[in-house]
Chain A
Amino acid sequence: MNLFLTVGIEMHAEMKSISKVFSTSKNTFSKHSNTHVSPVDIALPGILPVVNKECVRKAILMASILHCEIPDYLCFDRKNYYYPDLPKGYQITQSHAPIGVNGYVDVPFLNDSLRVFIHDIHLEEDSARLEHLMDETLINYNRAGVPLLELVTEPVFHSKEEVLAFLEYIRKIYQYTDISDADVKRGQVRCDVNISLSEEEGKLGTKVEIKNVNSFSNVMQAIDAEVKRQTDLILDGRKSEIEQETRRFDEATKTTVRMRSKVDAIDYKYFIEPNIPKMRLDSNWIKEIQSSICELPMSRMKRYENMGLSLEDISVLTKERVFSDYFDECVENGCDPKTAANWITGSILSYLNKTEKKITDISLSPKDLHFLLSKIDDKTISGKQGKELLEMALQTGKKIEECLSTSDTQISDEAFLEELVRKIVLENPSQVESYKNGRTNLFNFFVGAVMKETKGKANPVLTKEIITKYLS
């Protein structure tokens, strides 16, 4: 039997900002609990929300990137429910007029692109963090009020690979635009996955929502698990047992577990937040934000393709914006794109991986790399030596020039080499004689002699030039 999968994603990402979205405490990660908390974050009686402009700016930025319609007025709603991680008993979010609706984004997928339609994107606040111990739960309010962007797609995905491509690409955009670090390891991205299986192509089956999946790999596994569960039920003739419900993914058993059925669905009683006036969004401000959109990964990838880079290099280079920026700067400094890409995705990346550093942590500047490559280019040094020099520069933090002069590397001092060659020629008159009589393969004898004297450090090209001059 053919079953057709359809998936929609709700992706929540913690936004980067200095202060929280509705209060002025710090938006940061802290080792200690309850250290970045204002009266607003813990919902003390009498508090009021005050909207952070930077969070609105970033929300408009993302809505624009997703080609969404942006409303005339900024407006927030209360989503009412009780949970120990929600101090106010309601979350301030956007339901009546999200900051962006009806958009789309083109996602690179299998050497092509996939158009994903966006239902809406909205700005809201995060809840407190609960830590579950044996018989009690601890509440840490540092995360309460951290800005969140929730992105809701239409049900457009038909394979988990498409979902992954989308999630990876959106994460990339968040990082490129500095809207969010989107650090999955630190729990900054969480997804709700809506799944339906249908026996008929183009139709939706019964929608099952899997809530709060905390990593991309778990999203993949959750889809697998739910597809398997439903397929088994259908094959078993128990299709009617598939009902509209909310489930969660259990990491230990790699299965989805029922939370509540549709009948028990929570009525969130949304209504417009009266404490935040409706504010007209200045069209000039929106234009200003839109004109500040940086080059996005998709267009960078196209640009690199035009430079003739391999798909593999493109993929590695654009994975992180800082990495791609580094490459761009190298090219701006005059490096050949392909060569620069080789060095960056090769030696530099392996050093970074080995030392668990980021490209922004190293002292080797794109200018330095250009200098190094130009020395290889003009044959001052060999490629192998270039690698050694690079290694040294990365490890010691010294400039390439400095490494070049202090290191055991090539001797390119012309006067020194001339003196050496002159000495060798004088000491070996018979070989000179034979060479001049046609035994041209003796040329290598002289090169070997220079190398022996210099312990192999003489610049071979220069050495050959000088020898040719002296023998002719």
Chain B
Amino acid sequence: MSQKFTKELVHKYALDLLISLTEEENQMVLEEFDIIEENMEKINAIADLKEEEAMTHPFSLENVLLRDDVVEEELPLEDVLLNAKNKTMEEVIVSKVVE
């Protein structure tokens, strides 16, 4: 296994995504990172890759129209709060956010 990835690093990556991992899961990520690294080496070995434009959309669309500035859709208050478990009459409640 490469030295590049450690348990601590994987733990940090997970926490950045607000996820915590069990020991077992952490181990699996480490193994998968090795595979990813191997495969990425294959990608980076492809000739003249830098000349290629990075594809962010499957294809470019001509004549995409921007939306007119009109009000169309607003949810009734009860629908905004429909799935929230902690709420007042008008707002969603979370534990105090410390700035």
Contact = CB atoms under 8 A, between A and B. Distances in A.
Instruction: Please determine if A and B sit in direct contact within the complex, based on CB atoms under 8 angstroms apart.
Output: yes
Interface of A: 17-19, 23-26, 32-39, 42, 50-56, 82-85, 130-141, 248, 267, 271-272, 274, 277-280
B67 A53 contact: yes
A136 B80 contact: no
A25 B73 contact: yes
B23 interface: no
Which of B68, B75, B94 counts the most chain A CB atoms within 10 A?
B75
Contact of A137 (B69, B73, B90, B96): B96
Contact of A38 (B60, B70, B75, B95): B75
B92 A19 contact: no
A139 B75 contact: no
B57 A23 contact: no
Given A42-B80, A55-B69, A36 B74 contact: yes
Contacts of A248: 99
Contacts of A82: 18
Contacts of B18: 82
Which of A23, A37, A271 counts the most chain B CB atoms within 10 A?
A37
Contacts of B43: none
B66 A24 contact: no
Contacts of B69: 17-19, 52-55
B72 A33 contact: no
A37 B64 contact: no
B97 interface: yes
Interface of B: 16, 18, 56-57, 60-62, 64-75, 77, 80-81, 88, 90-97, 99
B87 to A, nearest CB: 9
A19 B70 contact: yes
A52 B71 CA distance: 11
A19 B71 contact: yes
A53 B66 contact: yes
Task: List 3 tightest A-B contacts by C-beta distance, closest first.
Answer: A53-B66, A24-B72, A54-B69
B61 A37 contact: no
A38 B73 contact: yes
A18 B92 CA distance: 25
Contacts of B68: 53-54
8 contacts: A24-B72, A26-B71, A26-B74, A35-B74, A35-B77, A37-B80, A137-B96, A141-B80
Contacts of B57: 274, 277-278
A277 B64 contact: yes
Contacts of A136: 93-96
A138 B72 contact: no
A108 to B, nearest CB: 32
Contacts of A272: 56
Contacts of A131: 91
A33 B91 contact: yes
A319 B81 CA distance: 43
Given A26-B74, A37-B80, A38-B75, 14 more contacts: A18-B70, A19-B69, A24-B73, A32-B90, A38-B73, A52-B66, A83-B97, A135-B95, A135-B96, A136-B93, A137-B97, A139-B91, A272-B56, A278-B60
Contact of B75 (A37, A83, A278): A37
Contacts of B71: 18-19, 24-26
A94 to B, nearest CB: 14
Given A56-B66, A141-B80, A39 B61 contact: no
Nearest to A129: B91
Contacts of B95: 135-137
A140 B60 CA distance: 37
B85 to A, nearest CB: 13
B89 to A, nearest CB: 9
A167 B60 CA distance: 39
A33 B97 CA distance: 18
B80 A84 contact: no
A53 B70 CA distance: 10
A82 B15 CA distance: 11
Contacts of A33: 90-91
A242 B90 CA distance: 44
B12 to A, nearest CB: 11
Contacts of A17: 69
Contacts of A277: 57, 60-61, 64
Contacts of A36: 74
Contact of A139 (B66, B67, B94, B99): B94
Contacts of A32: 77, 90
Contacts of A26: 71, 74
Contacts of A140: 90-91
A125 to B, nearest CB: 14
Contacts of B70: 18-19, 24
A306 B72 CA distance: 48
